[in-house]
Amino acid sequence: MKKTALLSIMSITMLLLTSCQHSTEQKEWDVSQGYVPDSTTAVQIAQILFVRVYGEKVLEKKPFVATLKNGNVWVVEGTLKEQKGGVPHLEMQKSDGKIIYLIHGK
């Protein structure tokens, strides 16, 4: 009886362990498109930096919008909801993610 119970427990455990494994499907990434290949990536990087430099309050300036300037520099800016104040502004190279300019308007 003990052998059967132990065998059942081991079988169930093995079944659970194998079914809980998840596959990590990675997208193909063409490095020739740069380390910051799209606006989504640019906004995610900028948001992290905006919060580190200006604090959580900067999230009030969302949505952050990224535009590609001259085909090689991402410009990410916040949105001004009222006529007062300014928005965070970041410029980064598409090729390597180097930050060129980071400021918050007044």
Question: Would the pLDDT of 104 be above 70?
Answer: yes
Q: How far is CA 104 from the centre of its chain?
A: 21
pTM reported for the whole predicted model: 0.71
Decide which of 94 and 30 is more confident.
94
Name the pLDDT band for 106 (thresholds 50, 70, 90): confident
Spatial CB neighbours of 81, under 8 Å, sequence gap ≥ 6: 60, 61
pLDDT digits (tens, 9 = 90+) for 40-90: 999 999 999 999 999 999 999 999 999 999 999 999 999 998 777 899 999
Spatial CB neighbours of 9, under 8 Å, sequence gap ≥ 6: none
pLDDT digits (tens, 9 = 90+) for 1-40: 666 655 666 666 666 666 656 556 666 778 888 999 999 9
Nearest Cα to Cα of residue 91 among 79, 73, 106, 78? 73
